[in-house]
């Protein structure tokens, strides 16, 4: 099992712990990551896409071409990245006109999109039966925490694009893979109201920071109602909203109880026996040390 690792922009700069955790988990589970391809920004599914669609599509296509040239499917760690790259891949595969326009742009850079690879997210890779079997065999400890999963908007919307082989037009889709995967390592995935509400990141980054954090506050209100001890995310932007957002909110509400947020592979890494420091948990703003000590993870 071998993939071209696409880290995106935010993880290498802001959250190298996510990368470290993913590398450790993948190596332990027999997933080979090729990481020497000169990828650029995905680019995000908001912003440039709304200003100049063909430029957005061409930038995404260049990344797809690099994976094609390596003969590898592309593995992402971000909901936004997987959304962009999946949409671009499908749009170019299914439209001769779009493919001609983009390939004309790419021609100046000696590249051509052929539509030879697929795009996937780390959650979907870890959810494969063969990987789950290895995880069960290699688990070093259980993680008995009540965890609320936050998937983020772009991981599964629109479902007809993100999961075209699993849906009919009449079906609605809410993701469950993270909940099911975490239950294997002893986590108690806990439902909460507004689970599929946006984290507020696009609003906070592009329009109004305070309004973005207000959405975080609303989600946290319902999360606390369910006595959830930690959050699990699969997107660096969502992580930042919950991690830094709780710090910002606590400056106004001094008695605010904070809930640690984990990236998915950090929780899987703990179950596989890696230390919190190896997984980058020591640099999170909302610390998980006391919570982990309560379940004998030092």
CATH number of the domain at 37, please: 1.20.1050.140
Task: Say whether pLDDT at 290 is over 70.
Answer: yes
* 113-127, 135-149, 161-175, 276-290: segment of lowest average pLDDT: 161-175
Q: Are residues 112 and 37 in the same domain?
A: yes
**pLDDT for residue 80:** 95
Task: Say whether pLDDT at 224 is over 80.
Answer: yes
Q: Are residues 242 and 146 in the same domain?
A: yes
What are 231's two structure tokens?
């959050």
Last residue of a domain, one of 95, 122, 149: 122
Q: Are residues 117 and 144 in the same domain?
A: no
Task: Say whether pLDDT at 252 is over 90.
Answer: no
Backbone φ and ψ of 233, nearest 5°: -130, 165
| Average pLDDT taken over every residue of the chain | 94
Q: Are residues 116 and 225 in the same domain?
A: no
Report which of residues 285 and 253 the model is more confident about: 285
| Residue 127 forms part of a structural domain | no
| Residue 215 forms part of a structural domain | yes
Q: Are residues 28 and 86 in the same domain?
A: yes
**pLDDT for residue 204:** 64
Last residue of a domain, one of 69, 90, 122: 122
| Residue 24 forms part of a structural domain | yes
| Residue 169 forms part of a structural domain | yes
**pLDDT for residue 164:** 82
| Residue 130 forms part of a structural domain | no
Q: Are residues 265 and 205 in the same domain?
A: yes
User: Average pLDDT for residues 21-26, to the nearest whole number?
Assistant: 98
User: Average pLDDT for residues 32-37, to the nearest whole number?
Assistant: 96
Q: Are residues 112 and 232 in the same domain?
A: no
Task: Say whether pLDDT at 12 is over 90.
Answer: yes
Q: Are residues 112 and 146 in the same domain?
A: no
pLDDT band at 167 (very low <50, low <70, confident <90, very high): confident
Q: Are residues 192 and 284 in the same domain?
A: yes
CATH code at position 277: 3.40.50.11810
Last residue of a domain, one of 122, 151, 182: 122
pLDDT band at 155 (very low <50, low <70, confident <90, very high): very high
> 57-97 pLDDT, tens per residue?
999 999 999 999 999 999 999 999 999 999 999 999 999 99
CA–CA separation, 66 and 37 (whole Å): 7
CA–CA separation, 92 and 87 (whole Å): 8
Q: Are residues 289 and 152 in the same domain?
A: yes
Domain around 47: 2-122
Q: Are residues 108 and 14 in the same domain?
A: yes
| Residue 114 forms part of a structural domain | yes
**pLDDT for residue 205:** 66
| Residue 56 forms part of a structural domain | yes
> 94-107 pLDDT, tens per residue?
999 999 999 999 99
Q: Are residues 158 and 260 in the same domain?
A: yes
> 193-215 pLDDT, tens per residue?
999 999 998 776 667 888 889 99
| Residue 129 forms part of a structural domain | no
Single pTM value for the model: 0.96
Report the number of distinct structural domains present in the chain: 2
Nearest to 211 by CA among 241, 253, 239: 241
């Amino acid at each position: 099992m071998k993939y071209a690792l696409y880290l995106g922009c935010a993880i290498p700069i802001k959250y190298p712990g996510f990368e470290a955790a993913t590398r450790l988990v993948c190596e332990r589970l027999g997933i080979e990551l090729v990481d020497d391809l000169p990828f650029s920004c995905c680019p995000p599914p908001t912003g440039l896409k709304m200003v100049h669609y063909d430029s957005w599509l061409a930038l995404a296509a260049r990344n797809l071409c690099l994976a094609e040239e390596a003969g590898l499917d592309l593995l992402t760690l971000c909901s936004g990245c997987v959304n962009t790259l999946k949409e671009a891949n499908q749009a170019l595969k299914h439209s001769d006109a779009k493919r001609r326009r983009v390939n004309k742009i790419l021609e100046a850079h000696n590249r051509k999109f052929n539509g030879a690879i697929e795009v996937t997210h780390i959650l979907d890779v870890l959810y494969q039966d063969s990987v789950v079997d290895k995880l069960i065999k290699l688990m070093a400890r259980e993680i008995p925490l009540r965890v609320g999963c936050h998937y983020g908007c772009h991981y599964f919307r629109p479902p007809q694009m993100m999961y075209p082989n699993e849906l009919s037009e009449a079906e609605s889709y809410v993701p469950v893979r993270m909940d099911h995967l975490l239950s294997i390592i002893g986590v108690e995935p806990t439902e909460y109201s507004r689970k599929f509400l946006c984290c507020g990141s696009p609003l906070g980054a592009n329009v109004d920071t305070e309004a973005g954090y207000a959405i975080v506050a609303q989600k946290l209100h319902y999360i606390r109602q369910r006595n959830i001890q930690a959050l699990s995310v699969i997107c660096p932007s969502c992580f930042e909203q919950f991690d830094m957002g709780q710090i910002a909110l606590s400056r106004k509400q001094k008695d605010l109880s904070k809930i640690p947020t984990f990236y998915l592979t950090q929780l899987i890494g703990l179950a596989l026996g890696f230390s919190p420091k190896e997984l980058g948990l020591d640099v999170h703003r909302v610390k998980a040390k006391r919570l982990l000590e309560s379940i004998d993870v030092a």
